[in-house]
Chain A
Amino acid sequence: MHYLPLQIIISLFVLIVSLRLIKRYKNNQLKTSEFFSWLFIWLAVLVVFWLPESTSYLAAVLGVGRGADLAVYLAVILLFYLIFRLYLKIDNQQKQITKIIRHLAIKEEEDNQD
């Protein structure tokens, strides 16, 4: 138990994030599926930090040397996936902004003619 301080910091962090998740879910700002997947991810983080040995078992099954390595691999894959989703979302929003601006431009001209 030599990295106890880190475990406490991480636990507090996860607690704060979870509280915010619950609050957002209650305010209907999150879909049920989103809420549970985020909660699952953060709980998994807790498990990894409190029971590091648990990852070793999974690592062995998947053929990765150490449990800690597996955690890093998974984290990186997850991050890339989330960035990819963000990218798609921003691209979509850009297109929607253009649509609005175009609509306004044409409407302004039509209003001026009346």
Chain B
Amino acid sequence: MAKVIRQAKDYGRVVVVDDGSADQSFSRAKAENVTVLRHLVNRGQGAALQTGHDYAFLNGADIVIDFDSDGQHMAEEIPTLVKPIIEEGYEAVLGSRFLAGRFSKVPFLKKWFILKPAIMLQNFILGTKLSDAHNGFRSLSRTALSKIKVQQDGMAHASEIIEQINTNNLKYKEVPVTIIYNDFGQGFISGLKILRDLLFQKLNK
């Protein structure tokens, strides 16, 4: 986790949300000299995400990047998620592991029996055309931040965000990202009681 924070720090201000972890997460994140928001009790990934969003909004962030703390995402790709907001006027940019150009080694079974059916169902229900359900790597503009309020405390927040992007008519696009399937993956997240990193870039002109 410390490594993830160090890498992300190069791209903006890092905000870590500690969702009631019983382990050393809080002090370890704190040791990296970043803002750490601590939930006194575990409230779930969605709740942690919204806490980060609220904090970013209150502190005048122009762009927020949602970033997992378990090393699944690559900090080097943050600029590709920020660029469409600054240069093309998008309000939300979603990372997709299935768009051409990046080679995420998605396990075969996971891809065709879990992810793809989930994407199809979601597209069908929300009327969206996305290539990836959600992998937690996304960027939001300040406008999007003011409109998207995550109510789902648990794991349903990702779909909820897409739904709210849709209902608020926010301009969004997908960009290819690399997802690293390391040894810990989801197990590590739940082991840490879902710790969510949140990173935002201030782009004061």
B residues 41-57 touching A (CB-CB < 8 Å): 41, 43-44, 47, 50-51, 54-55
B151, A106: Cβ atoms closer than 8 Å: no
Residues of A within 8 A of B35 (CB): 109
Q: Identify which of residues 17-53 in chain B touch chain A, using a CB-to-CB cut-off of 8 Å.
A: 17, 35-41, 43-44, 47, 50-51
Chain B interface residue count, CB cutoff 8 Å, equals 18
| Count, chain A residues at interface, CB 8 A | 11
Contact B151 A101 (CB under 8 A): no
Chain A residues, Cβ within 8 Å of B50: 98, 102
Known: A98-B47, A102-B47. A109 touches B153 (CB 8 A): no
Contacts of A94 in B (CB 8 A): 153
Chain A 91-114 per-residue mask, 1 if CB under 8 angstroms from chain B, else 0: 000110110011011101100000
Question: How near does chain A come to B192, taking the closest CB pair, in angstroms?
Answer: 17
Q: Does B114 contact A (CB under 8 A)?
A: no
Bound-state Cα–Cα, A97 to B47, Å: 10
Q: Find the A residue at minimum CB distance from B51.
A: A102
Residue B58 interfacial (CB < 8 Å): yes
**Chain A residues closer than 8 Å to B43, beta-carbon distance:** 97-98, 101-102
Q: In A4-21, which residues have CB < 8 Å from any B CB?
A: none
**By the criterion CB–CB under 8 Å, are B58 and A105 in contact?**
no
Question: Which A residues form the contact surface with B (CB < 8 A)?
Answer: 94-95, 97-98, 101-102, 104-106, 108-109
Which 5 interchain pairs have the tightest Cβ spacing? Answer: A105-B37, A102-B51, A98-B47, A98-B43, A101-B39
